Structure 1
Amino acid sequence: MDDALLEQATVKLREAGVRMTPQRRVILEYLYQQRNHPTADDIHREIGAKYPEFRALSVTTIYNNLKTLKKYGLIKEIYTQAGIARYDSNIDHHHHLLCTVCGSIADYYYPLRFPVDELRIDSDFTVEDIYVELRGICRLCKTQPELQAVSQPDQKVT
């Protein structure tokens, strides 16, 4: 666990007049250790299993704290094709590869970054961020015979 990240998060919340509660801290600690973009239910289940003192923490409390952490730019919220919110503590500029079969999400780094402040889409619209989400079929799902016909339509599945 990177204590420096937690300290930065604490400072950022404090500057906004928001406390780093024990609940927020344990949620961030958990998210900083994940690379699988968990759901609020995943977070609730795993925190309850790992930290007995947080077993009574409700899913609503998890959601409320995730909302606060997102509001202050400490995490990102990603929606799957099914509309399920998943959470990412990696706030560095990156995109996501979403598998339309299994729902997995992988980080994707692309060196090109648009100069947001130079975009002139509409005089009444200010671009704050650009996010690219690539949807397709992951490597694991492509190895399943029933999916090969979908991912490689020119090849006959035997």
Structure 2
Amino acid sequence: MAVSDHRLNEALDTLKGSGVRITPQRHAVLEHLINAMNHPTADDIYKALEDRFPNMSVATVYNNLRLFKDIGLVRELTYGDASSRFDYNTSEHYHAICNECGKIVDFHYPILDEVESLAEQVTGFDVSHHRMEVYGICENCKQKQSAH
């Protein structure tokens, strides 16, 4: 069984356990998210699935993403006033974001997990979570720039 199949089955089990009915649209949105490496927007997912589900609206996609977020299956990534992007990978990780094309790539750096305890010691806060982004130019955009 492929990793994505395993992740999809786990996600479907989580939905069932939450009492959520698994409609064909929900199944398709979840499957797309699990297989997508580009942290898609609701609009991206809608466009990818509109041929299979001509009666599905962007609102349906968005409502399902909200539901998945509430259950803890996906994370919503918001950057400034750009559209929210959705990430199936809910483990602790960080993002590298291209300034040119907006591509987002996951990376993990376990040492940074200590930031939360340090922040608690320094500020007295009860820290719930943190996020980090690094910005730069991805390899594709670098190649395009050097080609000019």
TM-score, reference length from structure 1: 0.75
| Larger Rg, first or second structure (1 or 2) | 1
Give the structure 2 partner of residue 108 of structure 1. Answer: 107
Q: What secondary structure sits across from 1:134 in the alignment?
A: strand
Give the structure 2 partner of residue 6 of structure 1. Answer: 8
1:140 offset after TM fit, Å?
A: 2.8
1:132 offset after TM fit, Å?
A: 1.0
Give the structure 1 partner of residue 35 of structure 2. Answer: 33
Query: Runs of at least 4 residues of structure 1 off by over 3 A?
Result: 115-119
Q: Which runs of 5+ in 2 are unaligned?
A: none
Give the structure 2 partner of residue 64 of structure 1. Answer: 63
- Residue pairs, 1:13-92, within 5 angstroms: 13-49=15-51, 51=52, 54-92=53-91
Give the % identical residues.
40
Which structure shows the bigger proportion of residues in helix conformation? 2
Q: Residues 100-143 of structure 1: CA distance to partner in whole angstroms, max 9, x if unpaired?
A: 222111112223242587452655x5322222111222233334
In the alignment of these two chains, the number of paired residues is: 143
1:115–1:16: structure 2 CA closer, same or farther, 3 Å change rule? farther
Amino acid in the other structure paired with 1:138 = C
For the pair 1:129 / 2:111, whether they are aligned, the reply is no
For the pair 1:97 / 2:99, whether they are aligned, the reply is no
What is the RMSD computed on CA atoms of the aligned residues?
2.6
Q: Residues 27-81 of structure 1: CA distance to partner in whole angstroms, max 9, x if unpaired?
A: 01111111011111110111123x2xx1210000000000111111111222245
Find the aligned partners of 1:130 and 1:76 in 2 and give their Cα distance.
13
Q: Which runs of 5+ in 1 are unaligned?
A: 148-158
Amino acid in the other structure paired with 2:47 = R
TM-score, reference length from structure 2: 0.80
Give the structure 2 partner of residue 142 of structure 1. Answer: 142
Q: What secondary structure sits across from 1:35 in the alignment?
A: coil
